[in-house]
């Protein structure tokens, strides 16, 4: 067997694999001999079928199968030994031209080669790393929400600002009939809020849906409107009031603190607010980190210039799926996946050059820390090493779990690397302003 590579340019090559009869003859003969021993052919005793008849019936099928096995094994071996960095898989070039009645075969494959490039990190432009803080208004609103949640519900007859109303929305125009509970604080429209204020149990209040709620999606939630109808809904609905309640806010006392965080963890309103701030900013860190990761990835893709073997990749996409794609479908799929492929190459280069691959020991330690966190939520704050090792071993025996945890740890490693190497500027900002600025 002989394999040769001819480079067409920096991104494309052709592999030629030449297979002679000597490469496959013994294996084909061995398989046919086994067939001869086991074949059931009328008129012949088992094991006494003439080899000529076996070859006539099974010969070419066995030949094709064994040659293809040999081909695939040696293709993989060649690519590995030559350390060829290829994209996708080799695409057969002359498959339809093979004459299986010959003794010797020559197979050609198109290869897409990974480009050579350098990654500039840090880049020229400084990227913003947001430090999101929980401001006083957010903390006070959260305290109010907690007091409402744990407060007493008191029934009343007349709607006032801040009350919760249970009733049924109806509209013959959009076939709406939906029983729901809402707060007057969910109402955005001033005229609609005025119409509800002072209404009593049993009253049917006519309301315009345009601008009724803070968000058009609430038309789905409260009116039961379809997703398509919810956006920009502009009709009149009737709201028949069945029940009115107000919430008496819970006292900020030790009983409430213990209910929220466990006995003695929080002992004052000041500590409650500090705990709310700490928990909120812990969640904000995750959002800030994700935003940073997205921005660094986009910046790397935009500023790391290299060509790809586009024509090869489109052909590979066209033939590699469950069913073949048309030229247009393959071109569209390539456009959708090109940025992802570019970052995959960039990330692979960064990992290789900076030793950022995940080891099994790191994966094991990561899983144990995750387990400790989960156990702490259920009150076990001091598990033994034996417990952690046992649970970790069980998790890491599951292929899907290993893949999921590896992806998380890989992402964490890249994020930490970017924090150390990228050019960053820190900006302190409230969550409300972060949402407006970062996702405008």
What is the structure's pLDDT at 118?
94
Tokens of 64: 């094709």
- Distance between CA 8 and CA 421 in Å, rounded? 37
Round to whole Å and give the CA distance between 163 and 37.
Answer: 87
- pLDDT in the model for residue 321: 86
Which positions ≥6 away from 20 have C-beta within 8 Å?
A: 1, 103, 104
Determine the pLDDT at residue 381.
Answer: 78
Which among 366, 349, 371 has a CA at the least distance from the CA of 301?
A: 349
Structure tokens at 216: 């058009």
- DSSP states of 128-170: EEEEEE--HHHHHHHHHHHHHHTSEEEEESB--TT-EEEEEEE
Residue with the two structure tokens 């405008």: 440
CA distance 302 to 367: 35
- 214 phi/psi in degrees, rounded to 5: -65, -25
pLDDT score for 193: 95
Q: How many CB atoms within 10 Å of residue 317?
A: 19
What is the β-pairing status of strands 164-171 and 176-183? Answer: antiparallel
Q: What is the DSSP string of 11-22?
A: SEEEEEEEE-HH
In angstroms, the Cα distances linking 360 to 101, 325, 352, 406, 436 are 50, 39, 17, 9, 41
Distance between alpha carbon 132 and the CA centroid of its chain, in Å? 24
Burial 402-419 (b: 16+ CB within 10 A, else e): eeebeeebbeebbeebbe
pLDDT average per 10 residues of sequence, the chain (440 residues): 95 96 93 84 76 86 94 94 93 90 94 95 91 95 93 94 94 93 93 95 95 90 90 93 94 94 92 95 94 95 95 94 92 96 96 92 93 84 89 93 94 95 95 88
Query: Distances from the Cα of 300 to the Cαs of 51, 119, 293, 418, 423, in angstroms?
Result: 64, 8, 11, 11, 12
CA 85 remoteness from chain centre: 26
pLDDT at 382: 84
Structural tokens at position 26: 């013994």
Could you say which DSSP state residue 9 is in? S
All domains of the chain, ordered by start, with CATH?
Answer: 2-113 (3.30.70.1050), 152-248 (3.10.50), 266-306+355-438 (no CATH)
pLDDT given for residue 47 in this prediction: 74
Q: What is the pLDDT of residue 49?
A: 80
pTM of the model: 0.76
129, 214, 212, 142: which is closest to 415 by C-alpha?
129
């Amino acid at each position: 067997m002989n394999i040769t590579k001819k480079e067409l340019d920096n991104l494309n090559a052709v592999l030629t694999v030449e297979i002679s009869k000597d490469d496959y003859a013994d294996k084909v003969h061995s398989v046919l001999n086994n067939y001869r021993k086991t074949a059931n052919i009328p008129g012949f005793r088992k094991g006494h079928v003439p080899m000529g008849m076996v070859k006539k019936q099974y010969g070419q099928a066995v030949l094709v199968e064994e040659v293809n096995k040999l081909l695939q094994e040696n293709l993989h071996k060649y690519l590995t030994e030559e350390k060829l960095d290829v994209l996708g898989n080799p695409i057969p070039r002359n498959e339809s031209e093979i004459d299986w009645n010959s003794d010797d075969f020559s197979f050609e494959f198109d290869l897409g080669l990974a480009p050579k490039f350098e990654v500039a990190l840090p880049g020229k432009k400084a990227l913003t790393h947001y430090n999101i803080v929980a401001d006083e208004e957010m903390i006070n609103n959260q305290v109010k929400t907690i007091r409402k949640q744990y407060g007493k519900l008191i029934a009343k007859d007349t709607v006032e600002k801040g009350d919760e109303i249970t009733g049924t929305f109806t509209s013959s125009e959009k076939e709406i009939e939906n029983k729901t509970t809402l707060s007057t604080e969910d109402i955005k429209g001033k005229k609609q809020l005025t119409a509800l204020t002072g209404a009593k149990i049993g009253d049917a209040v006519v309301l315009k849906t345009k601008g009724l709620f803070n968000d058009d999606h609430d038309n789905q939630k409260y009116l039961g409107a379809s997703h398509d109808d919810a956006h920009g809904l502009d009709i009149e609905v009737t709201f028949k009031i069945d029940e009115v309640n107000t919430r008496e806010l819970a006292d900020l006392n030790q009983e409430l603190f213990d209910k929220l965080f466990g006995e003695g963890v929080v002992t004052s309103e000041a500590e409650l607010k500090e705990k709310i701030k700490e928990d909120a900013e812990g969640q904000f860190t995750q959002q800030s980190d994700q935003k940073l990761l997205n921005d660094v990835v986009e910046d790397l893709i935009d500023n790391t210039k290299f060509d790809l073997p586009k024509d090869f990749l489109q052909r590979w996409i066209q033939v590699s799926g469950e069913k073949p794609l048309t030229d247009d479908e393959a071109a569209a799929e390539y456009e959708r996946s090109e940025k992802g492929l570019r970052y995959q190459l960039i990330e692979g280069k960064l990992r290789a050059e900076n030793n950022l691959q995940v080891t099994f020991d790191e994966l094991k330690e990561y899983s144990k820390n995750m387990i400790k966190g989960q156990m702490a939520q259920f009150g076990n704050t001091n598990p033994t090493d034996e417990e952690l090792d046992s649970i970790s071993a069980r998790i890491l025996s599951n292929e899907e779990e290993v893949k999921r945890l590896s992806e998380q740890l890989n992402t964490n490693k890249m994020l930490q690397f970017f924090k150390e190497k990228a050019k960053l500027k820190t900006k302190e900002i409230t969550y409300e302003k972060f949402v407006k600025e970062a996702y405008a």
